[in-house]
Amino acid sequence: MKLLKRCYAALIYLFLYAPILILIIFSFNASKSRANWSGFTLNWYFELFKDRQIMKALYNTVVIALLSSVMATIIGTAAAIGIHNMKKLKKKLVMNLTYIPVVNPDIVTGLSLMLLFVFTKFPLGLFSLLLAHITFNLPYVILSVLPKLKQLDKNLYEAALDLGASPLHAYHKVILPEIMPGIITGMLLAFTLSVDDFVISFFTTGSGVSTLSIIIYSMARRGINPKINALSTLLFLTVLLLLIIVNLRTSGNGANKKRSDLKW
């Protein structure tokens, strides 16, 4: 039975990661063909970095993803703390409103934001794209931070106040370190969603401003270019490296905390 469970789990992971593995392998294929292997090459990676259009889209994507994830994390963390301290009825109402953008189709959110920008005569461009990304990232940050707030001991904050800390100092020194794993998770999720997004970016961007998802879509319509394989490989490895760093840091913090508890 145990072997069957392991085989079942292995099949699921194989199904999930086999397409990515094939994509990575063919990013080193000397031929443009996706059916034949013609030899190992790094040419597509060199061609990728020579492509000014892709490099500009990469710059826009990274800037928007970083800024939107940081802003969404700051606003979302503050919102999560406020929601956590609400009364039961208000909390339930606000949580239902928070869930709506998550379950709402991206095309509805993108079209709504575009109509809002057009109605308010807000120019479509890099700034409108940034606002759109912050907006759709917010619920994911809130939903990542709230579980950590629920796990907190209710007496921690009051104990810090009793010991002479100001409310702001108590949140900074007591609450934030305890919920930091949720904050980091929310920021990483926001960053990944921002890099990945196509529909909302497509509706809220202006002329001359493109992200990687829009560039890849326009290139894929003319046929799969091996440069897309190279670009996707680099994106996958970057996200994987970020996850490894976060996991190592979380494990290190847990080990340090355990050691300090043993000393006490």
The CA radius of gyration of the chain, in Å to the nearest whole number, is 22
The predicted-structure confidence for 79-101, as pLDDT tens digits, reads as follows 998 898 888 888 889 888 888 88
Helix 212-220 and helix 52-84: axis angle, to 10°? Answer: 130
Is 151 a residue whose pLDDT tops 90? no
Residues 214-232 have a mean pLDDT of 80
Q: What is the pLDDT of residue 79?
A: 92
pLDDT at 250: 60
Provide the 3-class DSSP secondary structure of residue 40: strand
Q: What share of the chain is helix, strand, coil (3-state, %, to 5)?
A: 80, 0, 20
* Confidence label for 74 from pLDDT (cuts 50, 70 and 90): very high
* Domain range annotation of the chain: 51-225
Residue 222 gets which letter from DSSP?
T
Task: Report the chain's mean pLDDT, rounded to a whole number.
Answer: 84
E strands, 136-246, in order: none
CATH T-level assignment (fold) for domain 51-225: MetI-like fold (1.10.3720)
pTM of the full predicted structure?
A: 0.81
* pLDDT for position 262: 47
pLDDT at 264: 47
Instruction: Identify the H or E element spanning 207.
Output: none
* DSSP secondary structure code for residue 210 in this structure: -
- In 3-state terms, what secondary structure has residue 165? coil
Is there a contact between 81 and 149 (Cβ–Cβ < 8 Å)? yes
Backbone phi and psi for residue 143, each to the nearest 5 degrees, phi listed first: -70, -20
Gap between the Cα atoms of 262 and 184, Å rounded: 27
pLDDT digits (tens, 9 = 90+) for 184-211: 888 988 988 888 888 899 899 888 788 8
Percent of the chain at pLDDT exceeding 90: 18
Residue 207: alpha-carbon gap to chain centroid:
25
- 14 against 173, higher pLDDT: 14
List pLDDT tens digits, range 7-35. Answer: 888 899 888 888 888 888 888 888 777 66
Residue 256 clears pLDDT 70, i.e. is over it: no
Q: Pick the more confident residue, 204 or 252.
A: 204
